[in-house]
Amino acid sequence: MANLLWLQGGACSGNTMSFLNAEEPSACDLVTDFGINILWHPSLGMELGDNLQKLLRDCISGKIPLDIFVFEGTVVNAPNGTGEWNRFAGRPMKQWMKELADVAQYVVAIGDCATWGGIPATAPNPSDSKGLQFLKRARGGNLGTDWKSKSGLPVINIPGCPAHPDWITQIVVAVATGRAAEIEIDEFQRPKTFFASFTQTGCTRNMHFAYKVSATEFGQRKGCLFYDLGCRGPMTHSPCNRIYWNRVASKTNVGMPCIGCTEPEFPFFELMPGTVFKTQTVMGVPKELPFGVDKKGYIALASAAKIAAPAWAEQDIFVV
């Protein structure tokens, strides 16, 4: 049986809400099918006050083995680095986080806030929030660049705002069942099984992307959302169009742009009106191009694609 402890720093609880909606496997399956003992979770744990402090101290002392330490939310430093804005169980959360991470066999950061700071770390970042091992793309975070858990692995990052529930539970199961060595991670410590491909992979609008046929309004069932509506699908690593949300659909599937929430820079453009859902261009060419495409190649390809676009590419393919 693997002991799991889940704490929450500066966050909105979005990843907890996501986790509780997991299906393959579900949060309940973790306990009943995979023998994971959830020591405490902010929405499931019953212990409070002195009882919770005792539980945490028993984990730190080794009296209770800590196999998996899950952290959601930013590590808040607040005024003068005190962390007083985020006190928990009698001490600043950042102190509990560091001591628990140091004794855990594996540490898993859930969501953008825990991985690279997310929205709270957006400039000017008054709370001096950080992720566990990153601040945006910069390595280090709160634990430091070279930090590793007792297993010898760095923090396993599962980003997203929120992270997909099945990304969370499948990685937790892999760790709990002794398959952590099989988890290959990328340069940002994300599991490659989920984050090696782009959001665009499997998008139902790829034919529109290829022919440079653009959607002009949200919710349209035809047209690519990249050219005009700011979709970051071609530049964002995620399986959102391979593993649907609620097993039903994805944002691009229903006509809304990907906002790149699994990338370290999120949120882009500081979420200002008029910038998030609008493609930034220079003389008609997007400022940011899909990975592997240069400006000259894009211009040549776009011109040819526009000319070659068949008539059906402009039609609503879902009309019966």
Which of 7-11, 32-36, 291-295, 307-311 shows the lowest per-residue confidence on average (mean pLDDT)? 307-311
* Residues 162 and 271 grouped into a single domain: no
* Residues 153 and 236 grouped into a single domain: no
Q: Give the separation between CA 63 and CA 47, rounded to whole angstroms.
A: 17
Nearest-5° Cα angle at 34, 29 to 38: 75
Across the range 11-20, mean pLDDT stands at: 94
Q: Is the pLDDT at 168 greater than 90, yes or no?
A: yes
* Residues 307 and 250 grouped into a single domain: yes
* Residues 168 and 283 grouped into a single domain: no
Q: Is the pLDDT at 100 greater than 60, yes or no?
A: yes
**pLDDT at residue 298, as a whole number:** 73
Given 153, 169, 194, the domain boundary residue is 194
Given 164, 194, 224, the domain boundary residue is 194
Domain count, the chain: 2
Task: Report pLDDT digits (tens) over 180-228.
Answer: 889 999 999 999 999 999 999 999 999 888 888 889 999 988 899 999 9
* Residues 186 and 262 grouped into a single domain: no
pTM of the entire structure?
Answer: 0.90
**pLDDT at residue 317, as a whole number:** 62
Range of the domain at 302: 206-314
- The percent helix, strand, coil of the chain (3-state, each to 5) is 35, 15, 50
* Residues 158 and 51 grouped into a single domain: yes
**pLDDT at residue 213, as a whole number:** 87
* Residues 54 and 148 grouped into a single domain: yes
